[in-house]
Amino acid sequence: MQKAFESIGEVQNEIDRLNEQASEEILQVEQKFNKLRQPNYKKRSDLISKIPSFWISVFLNHPQLSTYLDQDDEAILQHLKRVDVEEHEDIKSGYRIKFTFEQNNYIDNDVLVKEFNINEASETTCKATTIRWKNETKNGPAKEGRKRSHENDNSSFFSWFSNTSDAGVDDFGEIIKDDIFVNPLQYYLAATTDEDENSAGENEEEEDLDNEDGPISNEKICLIVKTNPVILNKLSVITSYSQPSSNSIYQNGHQKYNHLLVSSKDSTSSIGDCWNQVLALLHTHCDNLNDNEQSFIAYKFTLCHLRHMHNNDETEICDKRDVDVCLKRLHLNLNAFIAYTEFFPFIQSVCYVMKEKNHQQEFDNRINTLLYETRNTINNLLTSVKKQQMISEQWIKNLKIQNSIMSNAIKLKNLVVTNTYKTQDLIEKIIHTAQHEYDLLKQICSLSQTIQTIVRISTTKTFWFYLISLLSVYLLTIPRRTNALR
């Protein structure tokens, strides 16, 4: 059991190491694409700054951020021209949010910056520019206005900005950085699409497309324009101001939107060249625009022109040279040019947002690829670990067998050594016995020779002894025989 826990711990350590490696690689990809996005962010901010009340519309249309704004905030934020988010170079150590204002009657600052810093212990600190209020009040404008559906939190935009003591949880800053700044156009367009959806009433398709309290995507906007009868009715009413050209409706078998709809009924010059220039620019920067998206842009452009034409708005043109060029080369009337110049930043914003979406999609694909490769690596590692465990178990079995063989070999060796010693002793005893027997045989042989010698001698002596004995007996018996004879 203990070995199993140790093995699991080793595998978990390897998984943690791979997760850390994946985080580092993902961070490198984020840093790379963050640098690539900066030029587009700058271009987008430049274009947005030309659209009046853009950022206040975005803030008010955001379902969470709007709850922080009171009436005084709304009045001041009407003069907000730019919002820029700059992440630190390593991304994970913090970021700063920069708010740029035009001249106004509320604050002297042109730029307000709030910066968040995260240390190695993941503790967040922040600092902010001191607000110089034109009204000599201690805490800026009075905050007695009615809150916008915000019941629990008494903070406002500028109280959030000035508060640097509690940076642990900053929902306001995170919403701006991770949601609004990523794609502000979706919240700016949400108000227009919501008005059109509400006026549609009973249309079921609109109810399916309704995005409650949240952002609406560009694809949904285009679909709303195409299926919304209110918008289509407005487009049909516009035809009373000019007669459409049949050749401009269909071209090469594909439907094209009639750019003559935005010309003045009493004007002899056409705005067609202007609209063609717009489409050319769109096709140059946004090749992926479909007919629905072109329909939406045509609708917005038409309403923009009609508003100026009916209201007879004398909008100031910043650069008169642009007016002269458009009036002479593009044959525009003044109202058409005003409409074009007002809507042109919106067109470019759409283009850059689409580019940004492509970059974001590429980034997401890269992240998904890294995650997929990481998962495969982890799965391969787990498979390898399982195989390694099986190999280790087999090695353990083999080691046990080898240990058993070694133990038996040692016993056999000891037995052989013991038997060798015994054999040597036995051989020595046999040799000693043989030597002893050999000595005995030599002695026996020697005795045998001695006996033989003795026998030979004894045989000779016995003969003579026997002879002498016989002779002695004879001699000794002579007297008896003599006596007998006698």
pLDDT in tens, 193-245: 555 555 554 444 444 434 434 444 444 444 443 444 444 343 333 333 332 33
Residue 403 pLDDT more than 80? yes
Residue 438 pLDDT more than 70? yes
Place of tokens 């227009």: 192
Mean pLDDT over each residue of the chain, to the nearest integer: 67
Residue 315 pLDDT more than 50? no
Tokens of 485: 């004879």
Buried b (16+ CB within 10 A) or exposed e, 80-102: bbbbbbbbeeeeeebbbbbbbbe
pLDDT of 326:
42
Task: Please report, rounded to a whole number, the percentage of residues in the chain having pLDDT higher than 90.
Answer: 7
Radius of gyration of the chain (CA): 57
Question: DSSP 3-state assignment of 96?
Answer: strand
Highest mean pLDDT among 190-204, 339-353, 421-435: 421-435
Residue 187 pLDDT more than 90? no
pLDDT of 254:
33
* Distance separating alpha carbons of residues 103 and 264, to the nearest angstrom: 36
pLDDT of 138:
38
**Higher per-residue pLDDT: 181 or 148:** 181
pLDDT of 17:
85
* Distance separating alpha carbons of residues 389 and 482, to the nearest angstrom: 130
The mean-pLDDT minimum among 100-104, 354-358, 380-384, 433-437 falls in: 354-358
pLDDT of 343:
55
Q: What confidence tens digit (pLDDT) does each residue in 267-295 have?
A: 333 334 444 555 555 445 444 545 555 44
- Structural domains of the chain, ranges and CATH numbers in brackets: 49-182 (3.30.1120.90)
Residue 414 pLDDT more than 70? yes
**Higher per-residue pLDDT: 262 or 43:** 43
pLDDT of 224:
43
Which is nearest to 181 in space by CA: 300, 62, 89, 268? 62
Q: What confidence tens digit (pLDDT) does each residue in 460-477 have?
A: 666 676 677 677 766 666
CA angle 299, 77, 115 (to 5 degrees): 115
Residues 6+ apart with CB under 8 A from 285: 348, 351, 352, 355
Per-residue pLDDT averaged across 387-405, rounded? Answer: 85
* Distance separating alpha carbons of residues 67 and 58, to the nearest angstrom: 13
pLDDT of 197:
52
* Distance separating alpha carbons of residues 173 and 213, to the nearest angstrom: 20
Question: Would you report the helix, strand and coil content of the chain in percent, each value rounded to 5?
Answer: 70, 10, 25
Residues 6+ apart with CB under 8 A from 72: 141, 142, 143, 145, 156, 158
Q: Are 293 and 218 in contact (CB under 8 A)?
A: yes
Residue 416 pLDDT more than 60? yes
Residue type for 212, please?
E
Q: What confidence tens digit (pLDDT) does each residue in 104-155 have?
A: 999 999 999 999 888 877 788 888 999 999 875 434 444 443 334 333 344 6
**Higher per-residue pLDDT: 51 or 479:** 51
pLDDT of 480:
63
* Distance separating alpha carbons of residues 347 and 326, to the nearest angstrom: 18
pLDDT of 99:
94
pLDDT of 248:
31
The mean-pLDDT minimum among 5-19, 254-268, 428-442 falls in: 254-268
